[in-house]
Amino acid sequence: MTKEIKCDSCDTDLTQEEIAHDALYSALHGVMALAALTKLPVAHTIHVALDYFMEQSYECAPDNEGAEDMIIETFNRKKEEKNGPTVN
């Protein structure tokens, strides 16, 4: 069973996983802010971050096919979120 914690600002129950996701996103926003402060172009920073996380997929997945499945699944999910479902 996943333990839930009450959010102070919105009075909603959050799971440990949601709290961890929020912390990760906050840290990533901090990285983007640091990049902007050091005058790194946003597109370059995103490119470097994508490269890093794709490499981590290959390092952490049981095999290359698993890594590629994870990468493609993430790409397709985000593409659908932004463009709507694909009609075949």
The pLDDT of residue 56 is 96
Residues 48 and 34 in one domain: no
13 membership: H or E segment, kind and range:
strand 13-15
Residues 47 and 77 in one domain: yes
Burial 56-82 (b: 16+ CB within 10 A, else e): ebeeeeeeeeebeeebeeeeeeeeeee
Residues 2 and 20 in one domain: yes
Full-model pTM: 0.70
Residues 77 and 45 in one domain: yes
The pLDDT of residue 80 is 96
Residues 31 and 71 in one domain: no
Residues 12 and 53 in one domain: no
The pLDDT of residue 12 is 72
pLDDT tens-digit readout, 37-86: 999 998 999 999 999 999 999 999 999 999 999 999 999 999 999 998 87
Domain that holds residue 22: 1-39
Residues 9 and 24 in one domain: yes
